[in-house]
Structure 1
Amino acid sequence: MVLLQTIAHAKINIGLMIPYKREDGLHEIRSVFVPIDFGDPMEIQIKSLPKGSVSRFVFHSTNHLQGYRHSLFEAVSERGDLSQNILTKTFHKLKPYFQEALEIKVQIQKHLPPEGGIGGGSSNAGVLLQHLFPYTNLSRGEQIQFAKSIGADVPFFLQSSACFVTGIGEVMEPIRLAKGFGILAIPPFGLSTGSMYASLQKSLQKPYGSEVWKSLTEDLIRSLHVGDWVYLQNRLENEFEKIAFQTQPLLKELKLGFFESGAIFASLSGSGSCLYGIYPTEGKRNEALPNVSLRFPKMEFRTFSF
């Protein structure tokens, strides 16, 4: 038996552009994905079963989410319809590839919010796959394709480094990043990924940001290496912000609030609704936390680093 204690980390996006809609109906992206030290603690137990047995999956969870998100997770937990849980779906889809019968038990403490743009269920699925792929004979390329079939962001969570991400999220180029200190805001409302992408339809053909994202230039790479966030702020933008700020004006106020509290970079993550600020030092970040918490009392705030 194997017993693993791990954390399914959230990710933030440094810049996000959607240059076009693909023929398969999905959207091409350009972004830098960064794993952060905030996530869902997970315990994974893997036990071999006697020959002739059928692999099985057991799931237990503790729900730490707030507001409406608490109900969203309950609906797909073992207290709701577990067949709709992304981990259950991942297990059943991978089961035919196991080289032996396995009993998989997962316990999760759920902190990552759905409809937040920071990975959530994709991170959970990626971590589970990391530990189950060794029980299959899938090649690395096949593993990436399998993860992609679970969700566009899942391939990123098969590894732990920051990456320049293209395709629908499955084409990754590792990038070395300077250490960073940030505050993540979790609003009391979500933004549907599908709706956000649909809202971009009229802007998909615009060349907005295209020159920046054709390749990561030497200046951008250097700035990421050394943490020149002021330079990056004016060059790497999240295209979803213009939609999110119209839909939820509070998010625009929140971004301004981060800058007024001393942030040197602030952005929506993914398609939202989570938004983050990066500060020049850990001390400046810690000083800013009570200020933004007081100014936006309905928000949940989490400090993070990477």
Structure 2
Amino acid sequence: MVLLQTTAHAKINIGLVIPYKREDGLHEIRSVFVPIDFGDPMEIQIQTLPNGNGMDSRFVFQSENHLTGYRHSLFEAVSERGDLTKNILTKTFAALKPSLTKPLEIHVVLKKFLPPEGGIGGGSSNAGVFLRQILPHTNLSGPEQILFAKSIGADVPFFLQDSACFVSGIGEILEPISIAKGFGIMAIPPFGLSTGSMYAGLQKSLQKPYGSEVWKSLAEDLIRSLHVGDWAYLQNRLENEFEKIAFQTQPLLKELKLGFFESGADFASLSGSGSCLYGIYKTEGKRNEALPNVSLKFPEMEFRTFSF
């Protein structure tokens, strides 16, 4: 029996460009994905059953819902207290069963802190951490594992990695990169932004997919700035294209971004398609000094510190 205590980490996007809509209806992206130390604690227990094959495997899921506001209800709807068929871990297990090389009994206990509709990974991170433990028990090759993760969700392949990555394709083309340590504050608004609605708002034209190379349009000075942590230089050079839609939909987010800068942030951005927005500070000390200021100015927000 294997018992693992781990954390499904959130991610932030440093820059996010959507060049076009593909013929398959999905959107091509270019971004830097960065894993952060805020996440959902997960306990995964794997035990081999004495008889049968992979299709005889069993999955047991338990969760603790630590979300607040409307997001508490969102997760309840897909927890074991709601409709488990809509839970991403249950769906991942069901899809993976035919590829298991032996019968397994898998128990997962999830403590849910990452907000749905936040743009920071959430369910994709849960699925990625789950897959990292289960994929070694399958007959899937390395490339097949990435394709399988992609079939679960566009961001899931990233959560099979350990490092920050240049990301392209729909999220499955990854190039690990080295970036400096950073200290940030994450704002979790009391509202979400629908990913589908956000993409629709961009109104990207339909194009044929071309060879989706890694985000080579980044100039050497931008790569160097990521490596050394010159966040101020990156501001206005690596932008999240979803902000123009998010700030129209929820003007409070634009005020929040300005509030981060007023508190001393060197870089601030919407993460993914939102609604979470973060600020990065030069030092841990500056970050900690800023926290009470932004918390006081935006009392409707939930704030969490993070590092990477």
Kept in 2: contact 1:17–1:239 (CA 8 A): yes
2:37 counterpart of 1:45 = no
Q: How does 1:66-215 map to 2 (within 5 A)?
A: 66-201=68-203, 214-215=216-217
Q: Distance in 2 between matches of 1:293 and 1:204?
A: 42
| Aligned residue identity for 1:259 | F
- Aligned residue in 2 for 1:297: 299
Q: Which amino acid aligns with 2:194?
A: S
Q: Deviations over 1:255-296 (max 9, x none)?
A: 000000000000000000000000010000000000000100
1:71-110 per-position Cα deviation (integer Å, ceiling 9, x unaligned): 0000000111111100000000001100000001000100
Asked whether the equivalents of residues 267 and 279 of structure 2 are also in contact (C-alpha less than 8 Å), the reply is yes
Residue pair 1:19, 1:204 contacting (<8 A) in 2 also:
no
Range with bigger deviation, 174-183 or 214-223? 214-223
Q: Deviation digits for residues 201-250 of structure 1, max 9, x if unmatched?
A: 15789xxxxxxx55222111100000111111021000000000000000
Indicate the residue corresponding to 2:264 in structure 1: 262
Deviation string, structure 1 residues 162-216 (Cα, Å, up to 9, x no partner): 00000000000111000000000000000000000000015789xxxxxxx5522
Counterpart among 245, 248, 258 of residue 247 in structure 2: 245
- Asked whether the equivalents of residues 23 and 206 of structure 2 are also in contact (C-alpha less than 8 Å), the reply is no
The 8 Å contact of residues 39 and 113 in structure 2, kept in 1 or not, is answered as yes
Q: Which residue of 1 aligns with 2:10?
A: 10
State the Cα deviation string for residues 46-92 of structure 1 (Å, max 9, x = none).
00012226111000000000100000000000111111100000000
- After superposition, residues 277-296 of structure 1 pair within 5 angstroms as 277-296=279-298
Q: Secondary structure of 1:285's partner?
A: helix
- Structure 2 CA distance for aligned equivalents of residues 154 and 280 of structure 1: 30
| Shift of residue 14, structure 1, vs aligned partner | 0.1
Structure 2 stretches lacking a partner, 5+ long: 208-214
Query: Which range is displaced more, 220-229 or 44-53?
Result: 44-53
Q: Which residue of 2 aligns with 1:236?
A: 238
Closer/same/farther in 2, CA of residues 136 and 109 from structure 1, 3 Å limit: same
Distance of 2:286 and 2:201 partners within structure 1? 36
User: 2:265, 2:186 → 1: CA distance?
Assistant: 12
Distance 2:233 2:281 in 1: 14
SS at match of 2:22: coil
Distance in 2 (alpha carbons) for counterparts of 1:17 and 1:126: 23
Is 1:19 aligned with 2:16? no
Q: Which residue of 196, 217, 220 maps to 1:218?
A: 220
2:211 corresponds in structure 1 to none
Alignment-mate amino acid for residue 30 of structure 2: R
2-structure distance, mates of 1:243, 1:215: 24
The gaps in structure 1 that reach 5 residues or longer are 206-212
Query: What is the letter of the counterpart of residue 136 of structure 1?
Result: T
Distance 2:38 2:162 in 1: 13
1:61 counterpart SS class: strand
Contact 1:18/1:204, CA 8 A, preserved across alignment: no
Which contiguous aligned blocks of 4+ residues in structure 1 show a shift greater than 3 angstroms? Answer: 202-205
Q: Is the 8 A contact 2:120 2:272 kept in 1?
A: yes
- Whole-angstrom CA distance in 1 between matches of 2:41 and 2:115: 14
Contact kept in structure 1, 2:257 and 2:277, CA below 8 Å: yes
SS of the residue corresponding to residue 199 of structure 2 reads helix
Does the aligned pair in 1 maintain the 2:19–2:204 contact within 8 Å?
A: no
Residue in 2 that maps onto 1:63: 65
Scaled by the length of structure 2, the TM-score of the pair is 0.95
**TM-score (norm. length: structure 1):** 0.96
Identity of aligned residues (%): 84
